[in-house]
A and B are shown apart, each in its own frame.
Chain A
Amino acid sequence: AVVTQEPSLTVSPGGTVTLTCGSSTGAVTSGHWPYWFQQKPGQAPQTLIFDTDNKHSWTPARFSGSLLGGKAALTLSGAQPEDEAEYYCLLIHGDTRVFGGGTKLTVL
């Protein structure tokens, strides 16, 4: 399976943006247990969202996960400068996990 993400997106400070995660095998469902990760330069990734819409204890409230139009989605409402980062989704396909190529989010 190939997992696709927008290569880059830009959002204004305070604005809202939605990142999506699609699968070449068809519609993404909760059975793919979608994950979202944030990675800043020189740092290890951090898990933002797991199992579609579950937040980790550290996940800022402005991030939310969902399924939207056959894809997994990560919505950032009220973007902050510190949200500028690379965002990766991961889908579970049976015995394997597949990362998307990442979305570089610019807050400008």
Chain B
Amino acid sequence: EVQLLESGGGLVQPGGSLRLSCAASGISFSTYAVEWIRQAPGRGLEWISTDLRSGVATKYADSVKGRFTTSRDHSTNTLWLQMNTLRGEDTALYYCANLKDNSWGQGTLVIVSS
């Protein structure tokens, strides 16, 4: 059974940085596609990025391009989302997921506020 578990959320000041992690188990990590999706409080879902597999460039939404980057740590089966230059509108619950497998984490909350 595939399991995804996010962590790393918290309170950060505008302009600050935060790194989220998505720990995966039960899959062949190097070839597993992982999406980051966020949901602002009381709002809908917003796609952030797609990391298809190792060696393939990650795709990003325009709203985060140039500020967010993903990377993989194969030794720990973890996908990282590095978020820089954070803004108030980045406040949201962040999910990692494989949509086709219907594998979703429980989400980690990021609050950008002074």
Bitwise, A22-57 to B at CB < 8 A (1) or not (0) is 000000000000010101000011110011000011
Q: Is the CB of A88 within 8 A of B45?
A: yes
> A62: CB under 8 A from chain B?
no
- Total A-B contacts with CB atoms under 8 angstroms apart: 52
> A76: CB under 8 A from chain B?
no
Residues of B within 8 A of A39 (CB): 45
* Cross-interface CB contact of B104 among A44, A50, A57, A88, cutoff 8 Å: A44
Q: Is the CB of A58 within 8 A of B102?
A: yes
Q: Contacts A44-B104, A44-B105, A44-B106 hold; do A98 and B47 have CB atoms under 8 A apart? A: yes
> A102: CB under 8 A from chain B?
yes
Segment at the interface with B among A9-17, A67-75, A77-85, A89-97: A89-97
Min CB distance B1 to A, Å, is 12
* Cross-interface CB contact of A37 among B45, B101, B105, B107, cutoff 8 Å: B45
Q: How large is the interface on B (under 10, 10 to 19, 20 to 34, 35 or more residues)?
A: 20 to 34
* Cross-interface CB contact of A44 among B50, B62, B95, B101, cutoff 8 Å: B95
Q: Is the CB of B44 within 8 A of A101?
A: yes
| Residues of chain B from 1 to 55 with CB closer than 8 A to chain A in the complex | 35, 37, 44-47, 50
Q: Is the CB of A50 within 8 A of B99?
A: yes
How many positions in chain A have a CB within 8 Å of any CB in the partner chain?
Answer: 23
Output the nearest chain A residue to B105 by Cβ-Cβ distance: A44
Residues of B within 8 A of A88 (CB): 44-45
Output the nearest chain A residue to B95 by Cβ-Cβ distance: A44
> A63: CB under 8 A from chain B?
no
Min CB distance A1 to B, Å, is 11
A interface residues with partner B (beta carbon < 8 Å): 35, 37, 39, 44-47, 50-51, 56-58, 86, 88, 90, 95-102
6 contacts between A and B (CB under 8 A): A44-B104, A44-B106, A45-B37, A45-B45, A50-B99, A99-B44
The 6 closest A-B pairs by CB, nearest first: A47-B102, A97-B47, A44-B104, A102-B44, A95-B59, A99-B45
